[in-house]
Amino acid sequence: MSLEITNPVSVRGKKRIIFCDFDGTITENDNIVAIVRHFNPPGWEQIVDDVVSQRKSIREGVGEMFRLLPAARKKEVVEYAISNARIRAGFSDLLAYSEAHDIEFYVTSGGIDFFVYPLLAPFGIAEDHIYCNGSDFTGEQIEITWPHPCDGNCSNDCGMCKTTIIRRFPSEAYTRILIGDSVTDFEGAKLADVVFARSHLISKCKELGLPYNEFETFHDVIAVLKHEEDSH
């Protein structure tokens, strides 16, 4: 297959930094949807639909979905989430490539701590390079907590706000690379210098006229990075 690069990654002058989504990107499927589908509390499908079609903010929708689940089922929920997830091919290779080529790597996830951290544990990513939402099982229902909310520049009510994190790395100093698949990546994709997209994020980039590189495994991402590196 010949390599088609539709959104090149400049390696000149600036430090490259990757902001990588978790659900549906690092993992093959969306873990939040998998959890609610498995436990199947009445009303979850409408909430997913409202979030995907952007009638409800991500923070509202995710909060509402987990509130449908009793906190007493914590063990089952956590075990299901972790055993159900599959890591997308090439992930550890992308981490190794980034390390070797001085590319900073951050996980920016709209997922929840109780599955994000355990699933990433084998990969040795520093904990302060992983952003996700939190969880509280002390009440009757599961309550999602939001330690990384939108700053004053984002009115999207993201929950875990990717643009707030991306803005901490100014484009004058960084080539900001976003890897993602879905609704939690839309705002970040508008801001990033380079987008790697699959699934719904492809449709959204097309709709907004944003350039992107399509990927299915992380080997596709490495191929683009490597091509740019080699051509200098």
Of 117 and 146, nearer to Zn ion (C-beta) is 146
> Which is closer to Zn ion, CB of 154 or CB of 210?
154
Interface residues toward Mg ion, by CB under 5 A:
21, 23-24, 181-182
Give the strands of the sheet with 213-214, arranged side by side.
143-145, 130-136, 104-112, 15-20, 174-180, 194-197, 213-214
Q: Compare residues 98 and 108 and give the one whose CB is closer to Zn ion.
A: 108
Q: Specify the residue for token string 């010949």.
A: 2
62 binds Zn ion (CB under 5 A): no
Q: Could you tell me how many residues of this chain bind Zn ion (CB under 5 A)? A: 5
In the complex, the smallest distance separating the C-beta of residue 11 from Mg ion, rounded to whole angstroms, is 27
> Which span sits near Zn ion by CB under 5 A: 4-12, 63-71, 90-98, 146-154?
146-154
Residue type, 222: I
Q: Which stretch binds Zn ion (CB under 5 A): 25-33, 34-42, 108-116, 153-161?
A: 153-161
Q: Tokens for 214?
A: 């399509």
- Considering the rule CB under 5 A, would residue 150 count as an interface residue with Zn ion? yes
Q: Which does 182 bind (CB under 5 to 8 A by kind): Zn ion, Mg ion, none?
A: Mg ion
Give the x-and-dash track for 65-84 against Zn ion (CB under 5 A): --------------------
Determine contact, residues 188/108, Cβ cutoff 8 Å.
Answer: yes
Stretch that binds Zn ion, among 18-26, 47-55, 119-127, 144-152 (CB under 5 A): 144-152
Residue 230 burial (C-beta neighbours within 10 Å; 0-12, 13-18, 19+)? exposed
Which one of 154, 165, 191, 223 is in contact with Zn ion (CB under 5 A)?
Answer: 154
- Collapsing DSSP states into helix, strand and coil, what is residue 92? helix
CA distance linking residue 78 with residue 69, whole number of Å: 12
Rg for the chain, CA atoms, rounded? 17
Between 52 and 78, whose beta carbon lies closer to Mg ion?
52
Q: Which of residues 155-184 bind Zn ion (CB under 5 A)?
A: 156, 158, 161
Select from Mg ion, Zn ion, none the partner in contact with residue 228, using the beta carbon and a kind-dependent cut-off of 5 to 8 Å. Answer: none
Three-class secondary structure of residue 174 per DSSP: strand
Say whether 211 sits in a helix, a strand or coil.
Answer: coil
Minimum separation from the CB atom of position 70 to Mg ion (A): 26
- For residues 161 and 151, what is the distance between their CA atoms, to the nearest angstrom? 8
| CA 70 to each of CA 43, 67, 117: distance values in angstroms, whole numbers, following the listed order | 14, 7, 22
By beta-carbon distance, which residue lies closest to Mg ion?
24
Which residues would be at the binding site for Zn ion (CB under 5 A)? 150, 154, 156, 158, 161
